[in-house]
């Protein structure tokens, strides 16, 4: 399908349990903005962020009476992790330490700058509860900043308190009592309890005992229609991913597309089968994304109270496609699946209709081609005012963001450009991890106005790959997409994408190949990449002419851009310590000196 490059965009994703799943018998000390059960019957976490102080307060509960530790890790492991560790002694006193994991051994105490602060703690019924705080960014090389986007949280515990020797705490190795979770700490959307929707009408778009092929990768597509028992227009106020419990290991993602209002199908025999085999049949249903789910995601996504997703009645969309991606690595032939999507309907229409807008690159080789062994390739796209001109004078309100790349992606962000000046991030997914993808609720809704333009950037690293990485659907391919949820819904604001122009490909290949897709792919895969050609590739992306592809009143329009538009950027964030802390800040040279004194080697 021509627009199959959309097939992996997911809206409703995350990896955090419901608020009603909290296990700890100890009530938290205060009310928090966010809460999650990290591990059933073992670990719970609450947190709030003070935007003025740039400070985060945690409360961490674990089912143990020994020491407990929570940290922020750059890559999910111990190396470079910034850790707060605490325990309650026999007298009930809280002890709390700021530690840093230089390697795979006991984290060292940061004796130069204390940046994690224990506030209060207690032991009750075999559980330990500790409240503590730290700055989002401490400017300390022995601390790791809590960035916007996905944060990798590590935690561990012991069955015993540390042993105090010469006034210093020595902790026993935690063994396998260690865990990793990825959470967007600054933009987490607390998933609701499903009990909240008890008694509401709902309908399901769901497979029924579908025989999953033994192929490693299967994309299955089925056309659905809102049931006739809902003849009036309704607002879906939440949706739930129904994942067949027998197939948690192979259901990789599902994505729902809206079919064009002009689409007509036989309601008694709606198309269903392998997506590629239904290419022409599904062409009216492949450019408008509605919602979806991906592996590790929260199962329930709820919309803002003022808006809902319109379905049924006089709503112009009558048909939908659910695309299921089965990742059957072991090529099993005995699986049947009944996964799908459920929509909970409100009793009354809300003020606004929900809409979705996707930015970035088309997912093909003409847009995304990343050389091997490249530690940092930046791919920029730009959505000019031409594609945003139909925004109403009152603007549209953006409430959530979903950045998406595949395995090589490291960062995704979109900036608002107003009068050729960057004014703020629409969303900054600075810390991006493919295995943990989230629907990021914006801390405050952001309004876009007519004339606004949007700059999107994806950053990749291929130091672990020996072959070129091209844009595409497979996990080994790459994507650059940034999806936003907004209201009120606009029928001419669904997508705004870019690709390198065919003229650009002619220049970079010295017109040595036919300018068709397959020839470009062959040229890229056959090319011998050198250090110089890898460095030159970034220049190619920065300076080449672009093809803009955007939605214009339900039609697909194209525009040629000689290059990416220029704009005046804002100053990048730089951490600044208080002047009283400058002399005590631990710089790299001091870190090496301290490690040498402690006889620690890397």
Domain end among 350, 378, 394: 350
Is the four-CA dihedral 391, 394, 399, 403 of positive or negative sign?
A: positive
Range of weakest confidence among 258-267, 492-501, 546-555: 546-555
Query: What integer pLDDT is reported at residue 87 of this predicted model?
Result: 97
Tell me if 602 is assigned to some domain: no
Q: DSSP label at 367? A: T
Same domain, 172 and 273: no
Question: Above 50 in pLDDT, residue 539?
Answer: yes
- State the pairing for strand pair 481-487/55-62: unpaired
Three-state secondary structure readout of 224-244: EECCCCCCCCEEEEEEEEECC
Query: What integer pLDDT is reported at residue 111 of this predicted model?
Result: 72
Same domain, 277 and 304: yes
Query: What integer pLDDT is reported at residue 397 of this predicted model?
Result: 98
Tell me if 587 is assigned to some domain: no
2: tokens are 């021509």
Reduce the DSSP state of residue 464 to 3 states and report it: coil
Domain end among 183, 204, 221: 183
Same domain, 413 and 306: no
State the chain's maximal CA–CA distance in angstroms. 80
CB 600 within 8 A of CB 102: yes
CA separation, residue 115 to residues 367, 499, 585 (Å): 44, 45, 11
457: tokens are 């950037």
Query: What integer pLDDT is reported at residue 1 of this predicted model?
Result: 36
Give the tens place of pLDDT for each residue, 127-172.
Answer: 999 999 999 999 988 889 998 878 889 999 999 999 888 778 888 7
Give the tens place of pLDDT for each residue, 47-61.
Answer: 999 999 999 999 999
CB 131 within 8 A of CB 419: no
Give the tens place of pLDDT for each residue, 428-447.
Answer: 988 787 777 777 888 889 99
Q: Which residues contact 341 (CB under 8 A, 6 or more apart)?
A: 204, 205, 206, 239, 240, 241, 242, 254, 256, 291, 292, 293, 322
Is the four-CA dihedral 60, 65, 71, 77 of positive or negative sign?
A: negative
Cis bond leading into 488, ω under 30°?
A: yes
Tell me the C-alpha distance between 134 and 55, whole Å: 6
Question: Above 70 in pLDDT, residue 602?
Answer: no
Tell me the C-alpha distance between 163 and 170, whole Å: 5
Domain with residue 472: its CATH number is 2.60.120.230
Same domain, 89 and 122: yes
Same domain, 462 and 371: yes
Domain with residue 206: its CATH number is 2.60.120.310
Query: What integer pLDDT is reported at residue 347 of this predicted model?
Result: 96
Tell me if 490 is assigned to some domain: yes
Q: Which residue has the tokens 């129904």?
A: 242
Query: What integer pLDDT is reported at residue 287 of this predicted model?
Result: 80
Query: What integer pLDDT is reported at residue 5 of this predicted model?
Result: 33
Tell me if 593 is assigned to some domain: no
Same domain, 330 and 403: no
Same domain, 251 and 309: yes
Query: What integer pLDDT is reported at residue 21 of this predicted model?
Result: 60
Domain with residue 118: its CATH number is 2.60.40.1210
Question: Above 50 in pLDDT, residue 485?
Answer: yes
- Partnered with residue 37 across adjacent β-strands are 44
Tell me if 564 is assigned to some domain: yes
Tell me the C-alpha distance between 384 and 516, whole Å: 27
Reduce the DSSP state of residue 326 to 3 states and report it: strand
Tell me if 129 is assigned to some domain: yes
Query: What integer pLDDT is reported at residue 591 of this predicted model?
Result: 45
Same domain, 155 and 49: yes
Same domain, 26 and 109: yes
Rounded to the nearest integer, the mean pLDDT of the chain is 88
pLDDT band at 556 (very low <50, low <70, confident <90, very high): confident
Same domain, 222 and 140: no
Reduce the DSSP state of residue 448 to 3 states and report it: strand
Tell me if 592 is assigned to some domain: no
Give the tens place of pLDDT for each residue, 325-369.
Answer: 898 989 999 999 999 999 999 999 999 999 999 999 998 999 999
Overall number of domains in the chain: 3
Same domain, 404 and 549: yes
Give the tens place of pLDDT for each residue, 64-113.
Answer: 999 999 999 987 777 888 999 999 999 999 999 999 887 666 778 877 78
Domain ranges, residue 338: 1-15+190-350
């Amino acid at each position: 399908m021509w627009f199959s490059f959309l097939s992996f965009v997911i809206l409703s994703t995350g990896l955090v349990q419901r608020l009603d799943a909290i296990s700890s018998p100890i009530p938290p000390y205060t009310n928090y903005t966010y809460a999650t059960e990290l591990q059933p019957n073992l670990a719970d976490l609450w947190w709030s962020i003070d935007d003025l102080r740039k400070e985060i307060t945690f409360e961490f509960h674990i089912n143990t009476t020994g020491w407990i530790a929570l940290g922020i890790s750059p890559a999910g492991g111990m190396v470079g992790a910034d850790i707060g560790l605490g325990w309650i002694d026999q007298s009930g006193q809280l002890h709390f330490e700021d530690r840093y994991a230089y390697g795979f051994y006991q984290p060292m105490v940061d004796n130069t700058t204390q940046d994690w602060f224990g506030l209060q703690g207690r032991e009750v019924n075999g559980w330990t509860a500790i409240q503590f705080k730290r700055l989002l960014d401490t400017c300390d090389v022995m601390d790791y900043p809590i960035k916007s986007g996905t944060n990798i949280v590590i935690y561990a515990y012991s069955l015993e308190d540390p042993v105090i020797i010469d006034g210093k705490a020595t902790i026993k190795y935690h063994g396998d009592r260690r865990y990793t979770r990825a959470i967007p700490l600054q933009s987490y959307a607390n998933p609701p309890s499903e009990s909240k929707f008890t008694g509401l009408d709902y309908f399901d778009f769901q497979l029924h005992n579908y025989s999953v092929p033994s192929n490693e990768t299967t994309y299955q597509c089925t056309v659905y229609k809102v049931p006739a028992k809902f003849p009036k227009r309704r607002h879906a106020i939440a949706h739930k991913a129904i994942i067949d419990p027998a197939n948690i290991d192979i259901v990789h993602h599902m994505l729902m597309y809206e079919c064009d209002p002009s689409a007509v199908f036989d309601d008694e025999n709606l198309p269903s089968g392998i997506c590629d085999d239904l290419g022409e049949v599904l062409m009216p249903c492949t450019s408008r994304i509605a919602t979806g789910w991906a592996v590790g995601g929260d199962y329930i996504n709820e919309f803002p109270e003022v808006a809902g997703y319109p379905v049924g009645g006089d709503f112009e969309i009558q048909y939908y496609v659910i695309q299921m991606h089965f990742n059957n690595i072991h090529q099993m032939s005995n699986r049947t699946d009944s996964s799908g999507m459920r929509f909970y309907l409100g009793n009354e229409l809300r003020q606004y209709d929900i809409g979705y807008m996707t930015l970035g690159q088309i997912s093909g080789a003409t847009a995304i081609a990343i050389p091997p062994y490249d530690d940092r390739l930046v791919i920029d796209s730009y959505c000019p005012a031409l594609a945003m001109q139909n925004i109403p004078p009152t603007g549209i309100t953006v409430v959530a963001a979903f950045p998406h790349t595949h395995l090589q992606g490291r960062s995704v962000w979109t900036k608002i450009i107003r009068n050729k000046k960057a004014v703020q991030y629409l969303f900054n997914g600075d810390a991006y991890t493919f295995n943990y993808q989230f629907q990021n609720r914006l801390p405050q809704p952001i309004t876009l106005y007519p004339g606004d333009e949007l700059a999107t950037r994806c950053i990749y690293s291929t130091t672990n790959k020996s072959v070129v990485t091209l844009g595409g659907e497979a996990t080994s391919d790459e994507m650059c997409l940034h999806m936003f949820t907004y209201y009120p819904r606009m029928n001419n604001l669904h997508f705004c994408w870019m690709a390198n122009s065919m003229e650009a490909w002619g220049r970079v290949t010295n017109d040595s190949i036919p300018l068709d897709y397959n020839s470009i792919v062959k040229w890229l895969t056959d090319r011998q990449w050198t250090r110089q050609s890898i460095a030159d590739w970034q220049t190619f992306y920065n300076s080449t002419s672009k093809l803009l592809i955007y939605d214009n009143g339900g039609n697909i329009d194209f525009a040629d851009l000689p290059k990416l538009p220029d704009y005046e950027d804002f100053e990048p964030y730089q951490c600044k310590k208080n002047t009283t802390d400058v002399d005590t800040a631990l710089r790299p040279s001091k870190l090496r000196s301290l490690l040498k004194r402690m006889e620690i080697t890397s």
